[in-house]
Amino acid sequence: MAVNRRTSRDIRSESRLTVMRALLAAGESTRNRLAEDTGLSIGTVSTVVSDLLKHGIITETGQVGGSIGRPTTGLRPNADRGRVVGVYVDVEEAYLAAKVYDAELGELALAEATIDEGLDDADTVIHGIERVLGAALERARANRDDVLGVGILLPGGTRRPVKVPVAAPNAIWLHLDRLRDRLGLPVVVENPLKAKATAELWLGAGRRRTNIVTVTLGIGVGAGIVQDGVLTRGSSDSAGEWGHTLFTFDGRLCRCGRRGCVEAYLGADGIRQTLAEIAPGHPLAAEPGRRRFLEALAESPGREAADTVERTAHYLGAALTDLVALVNPEVITLSGWTARFLGERMLPIVRRRVAEESPGDAAADLAIEISSLSDPGMTGIAAVALERFMRDVGLVTTRMLPAI
């Protein structure tokens, strides 16, 4: 029968993550202040702090003089507990990157590589990951023994191919055991939607709110949905595919094979198509790179470019309204190239449109913001790797992480 019921073990797990995240947000704190910040009882916080101290994930900093009462022991994350590494695999650009973080998710070093021969098969990807990971660890002067976990950020959204003719990421899903053997390190794979939601929970909007939606606007578009502080995974870990919800029935052909998806209007190629509709033959539309197209669109002084951005803002407002209507979040954060290059310009129209179109008072207290995180995908996958380590030592329960 029911297998997904929450148990008190899950609650302990959530409390540990909550306290850990609150301590990361504060930098240094005390048991009492963590109780205030998290809303957990002082008893729960004390228990959780003991658990985290035992595993060396946080550390005591000696007596902290309080303005009232006796001095209490300070606490802070133990940055030197080890290192976590985020790895980003961009098949289209044949680009790989690895970033090393300390155990409080502070960035230490980055290594990048462009693979001339492309990333078309699993062997090339695995070899590339090995190289870029090694280079990043060297730059961070990190020992392999210090690595608590490696997170691989892989677009794709779901386990099975999304009818998109991109072989390599799926190949990685299929060859994950081999990757783990080659690296000799704990490996976890997650898609950008869920990694970014995790980043917001650890270091961004999720520090202050428990109902958040993190929207990615890049080549693909999608959402991470967090309800009551927990990421919505769905029954087969496929939730969040907002990019493949309807924007217009029988509308533009999406690369997933369906017609009228949100992504066909708000993905990079969708925005290019909007430009082509507004100004057929416009030179910008011929720009082959998606990232470069978006950057050029943002910089273009022309009227057609401005109209394209404006129309895209209306499309975005309309499509975000669907998320407001369905899950009624407190905040929506935007990230990805489109958010970076065009976000601030689009926000006024987006906010107005969402406020006007959302049902009832669903958007009355809603904030729509560009993500405050500089690299949410990478930070998120590092946070996922850290959560995975916390799972391996028994601090968090498995259901919060993908089953690999």
Site for a copy of itself in 137-176 (CB under 8 A): 157-162
CB of 66 to a copy of itself, least distance (A): 20
Does 273 contact a copy of itself by CB under 8 A?
no
Binding region for a copy of itself (CB under 8 A) out of 61-69, 72-80, 243-251, 335-343:
243-251
Residues 6+ apart with CB under 8 A from 80: 102, 103
Assign residue 157 a region (left: φ > 0; alpha: ψ between -120 and 50; beta: otherwise).
left
Could you give the C-alpha distances from 373 to 30, 170, 181, 341, 342, in angstroms and in order? 26, 28, 32, 15, 16
Report the C-alpha gap between 14 and 231 in whole angstroms. 11
Span 334-363, contacts to a copy of itself by CB under 8 A: 357-362
| AA letter at 357 | E
Residues 6+ apart with CB under 8 A from 323: 213, 215, 223, 225, 242, 329, 332
Does 202 contact a copy of itself by CB under 8 A?
no
Report the C-alpha gap between 155 and 294 in whole angstroms. 19
Does 37 contact a copy of itself by CB under 8 A?
yes
Report the C-alpha gap between 78 and 377 in whole angstroms. 23
Residues 6+ apart with CB under 8 A from 5: none
Pairing state of beta strands 147-153 and 187-190? parallel
Does 208 contact a copy of itself by CB under 8 A?
yes
Interface residue with a copy of itself among 74, 186, 229, 402 (CB under 8 A) is: 229
Q: Which two tokens stand for residue 175?
A: 């060859």
Does 253 contact a copy of itself by CB under 8 A?
no
Span 311-330, contacts to a copy of itself by CB under 8 A: 315, 318-319, 321-323, 325-330
Interface residue with a copy of itself among 223, 316, 378, 383 (CB under 8 A) is: 223
The smaller minimum CB distance to a copy of itself, of residues 133 and 154, is found at 154
Q: Which two tokens stand for residue 55?
A: 């595993």
Does 40 contact a copy of itself by CB under 8 A?
yes
CB of 244 to a copy of itself, least distance (A): 4
Q: How many residues bind a copy of itself (CB under 8 A)?
A: 78
Does 38 contact a copy of itself by CB under 8 A?
yes
CB of 121 to a copy of itself, least distance (A): 21
Span 60-79, contacts to a copy of itself by CB under 8 A: none
CB of 400 to a copy of itself, least distance (A): 11
Report the C-alpha gap between 248 and 85 in whole angstroms. 40
The smaller minimum CB distance to a copy of itself, of residues 145 and 365, is found at 365
Binding region for a copy of itself (CB under 8 A) out of 87-95, 109-117, 131-139, 224-232:
224-232
The smaller minimum CB distance to a copy of itself, of residues 40 and 137, is found at 40
